Structure 1
Amino acid sequence: MSASERAERPELDAGKAPESAPESATTPAEPGPAQASIASATDRPVEAAAGSATAPPEPPDLTSMPLMEHLRELRTRLIRSVVALAVGMVVSMPLSRFVISGVEIPLPIESLRLAGRTIALPDTLAITGLLGMCTACDSIIIISPLEGLITWMRVGLILGLILSTPVILYQVVAFVLPALYSRERRYLYLLLPGAGLMFAIGLAFGFFVVLPRSINFLIGFAEGAGLGAKPTPTLANYIAFVSNLLFVIGVSFETPLVVFMLAKVGILKPATMSRYRRHAVLVIAILAAVLTPTPDPFTMFLVMAPMYLLYELGGLLARIF
């Protein structure tokens, strides 16, 4: 560097760094990686707070679990349910013969009468031995060597399922409960006992009201129609008929709870139920005609009337709660 340049810039001789241009003093420096990470970390709570205002709250007990952990828990719940069903079936096996004897009560054992007449029942139903428990009855027969054993096991399975239902429901609730909100848990605690109670009422209504009239009509029709054959149902067919009929009627008594749940999730509204009440009556009449095993209108009305009342009860519960 020449002497004239040194004279013009004395700071070079003093060992000072040259001053930057005036425009560089006003230009902000770019933040480094550390500064950028700190800034993003401080901005996250604000973004999270803004997002939490619109996002629904998570269930309080919801914990993050891998998929395999969920599958292992599901397998454990299923194994416990199957074991409970097996234990209930073993315990209820000795009771099968008494249940079969009980469901034979609606049958006209001493005499077959037409529908609407009195059914004469014997003083006692003779039950002697497992395979011969229906041989004293003139109304039920066994046509295969395995029919008595298979029917006995089927009734035991049904009773075992009834006895193990609380354990099975507990396993199901324990599996899904952590993913439910507090409001959904409250509805669950109310619906489970209500479902059991309504199903039991449906079974009682079917056994004491619908079943005797259905059997009386069907057997009386077979005799009065002049078919030339004596009505002698087999044990397996009769137990299957009774169990299917009672199950369907028991499920139909769950109508108010189904209507209540549909109203709570927004699928069905009370105003819509009132507007389409005539359509609901038509649908209920069709279901009653399908569920009723007899073509007479009286038995159909016995099934249709409680179904309609239960439908209105479901709408009332949806309005109240």
Structure 2
Amino acid sequence: MSKSEVNEMSFLDHLEELRWHLIRSTLAIVLGGFIIFLNKAYVFGKLIQGPKDPNFITYRLLCSISKSIGLDDSFCINEMSFTIITTGMSDKFSIHVWTSITLGVIIAFPYILWELWKFIKPGLHDNEKKHSKLFIFSGSLLFFLGVLFGYYIIAPLSVNFLGGYTLIPGNDIMANPTISSYIGVLRSVVLASGLMFELPIIIYFLTKIGLVTPEFLKKYRKHALVVILILSAVITPPDITSQIIVAIPVLILYQVSIYISRYVIKKEQRRAA
């Protein structure tokens, strides 16, 4: 589609174009969710139950690290002090469906990015259109890295802390969270981590449209640190160690975003010259 055609498109034409992109993205999510739905034994037996299993790779690594630095069994986890239950007749089926949809979004994310790119592509310059593959690859890579970080780092810390939290030492209230509550914790930390790792991509587009500059990002770095710590506190257990673990990679991504913004500004200046 040429620039003139884009300019001649009415608002309703843009809405119609957006509608078809959303429809195709939804179909991709449904397809991914259907594949997950058919593999419930692996999904719920391995993926969902993973952070609850004392033999989960994250717990074993923490145990090995604690022993290697002379802390004995301080970070070793031998059992989980809670049992997941269900209280409603249709709870298990509903959780099966919604978990499949959530994982379908994760699986279909590269295609969703592709549809997003096709929607904004007509309004870009020819040299910018050449970076479509880089946009899809980098956006998908960052999202999947965030999802893995959330699943293997934040989720085990959250499950272990919240599941083992005591109100009355030695005579505490029995913890039996529902399956919807347990999966809700996993879903929130995994998706939040995946979206937080998209920060460089977001900064790239905000710089392209002139909303942010490298100077702006550097000037408000301290404010960004406070926001990052608040976000870390929201999606992690309320202990300082977990918050630091989450904040460090996001701070690194923020610094990378400054370099990306600087690169975009220099490129725009060269084009203008």
Q: Return the TM-score normalized by structure 1.
A: 0.66
Q: Find out whether 1:297 has 2:240 as its counterpart.
A: yes
Give the conservation status (yes or no) of the 8 Å contact 1:284–1:304.
yes
Q: Find out whether 1:264 has 2:222 as its counterpart.
A: no
Are the structure 2 counterparts of residues 189 and 89 from structure 1 closer, same or farther at C-alpha, using a change threshold of 3 Å? same
1:205 is matched with: 149
Q: CA deviation at 1:103?
A: 2.3
Q: Equivalences for 1:171-190 in 2 at 5 Å?
A: 171-190=115-134
SS at match of 1:158: helix
Q: Find out whether 1:195 has 2:139 as its counterpart.
A: yes
Percentage identity across paired residues of the two chains: 29
Are the structure 2 counterparts of residues 266 and 227 from structure 1 closer, same or farther at C-alpha, using a change threshold of 3 Å? farther
Give the conservation status (yes or no) of the 8 Å contact 1:259–1:268.
yes
1:103 is matched with: 48
Q: CA deviation at 1:215?
A: 1.5
Are the structure 2 counterparts of residues 78 and 305 from structure 1 closer, same or farther at C-alpha, using a change threshold of 3 Å? closer
Instruction: Count how many residue pairs are aligned between Structure 1 and Structure 2.
Output: 245
The equivalent position to 2:181 in structure 1, one of 230, 237, 241, is: 237
Unmatched tracts of structure 2, length 5 or more: 56-73, 265-273
Give the conservation status (yes or no) of the 8 Å contact 1:223–1:231.
no
2:222 is matched with: 278
The equivalent position to 1:155 in structure 2, one of 96, 99, 111, is: 99
Q: CA deviation at 1:119?
A: 1.7
Q: CA deviation at 1:143?
A: 1.6
Are the structure 2 counterparts of residues 251 and 169 from structure 1 closer, same or farther at C-alpha, using a change threshold of 3 Å? closer
CA RMSD in angstroms comes to 3.1
Q: Find out whether 1:312 has 2:270 as its counterpart.
A: no
Give the conservation status (yes or no) of the 8 Å contact 1:95–1:156.
no
Give the conservation status (yes or no) of the 8 Å contact 1:108–1:216.
no
Distance 1:180 1:288 in 2: 35
Q: Kindly provide the amino acid, as one letter, of the partner of residue 104 in structure 1.
A: Q
Unmatched tracts of structure 1, length 5 or more: 1-57, 111-115, 123-136
Give the conservation status (yes or no) of the 8 Å contact 2:51–2:159.
yes
Distance 1:287 1:68 in 2: 37
Q: CA deviation at 1:300?
A: 0.6
SS at match of 1:239: helix
Are the structure 2 counterparts of residues 306 and 117 from structure 1 closer, same or farther at C-alpha, using a change threshold of 3 Å? same
Which structure is larger by alpha-carbon Rg, 1 or 2? 1
The equivalent position to 1:143 in structure 2, one of 79, 84, 87, is: 87
Structure 1, 310-319 or 283-292: larger mean CA deviation: 283-292
Are the structure 2 counterparts of residues 205 and 263 from structure 1 closer, same or farther at C-alpha, using a change threshold of 3 Å? same
Are the structure 2 counterparts of residues 159 and 284 from structure 1 closer, same or farther at C-alpha, using a change threshold of 3 Å? closer
SS at match of 1:233: coil
* Structure with the higher fraction of residues in helix conformation: 2
Q: Equivalences for 1:43-82 in 2 at 5 Å?
A: 59=3, 62=6, 64-65=8-9, 72-82=16-26
Q: Return the TM-score normalized by structure 2.
A: 0.76
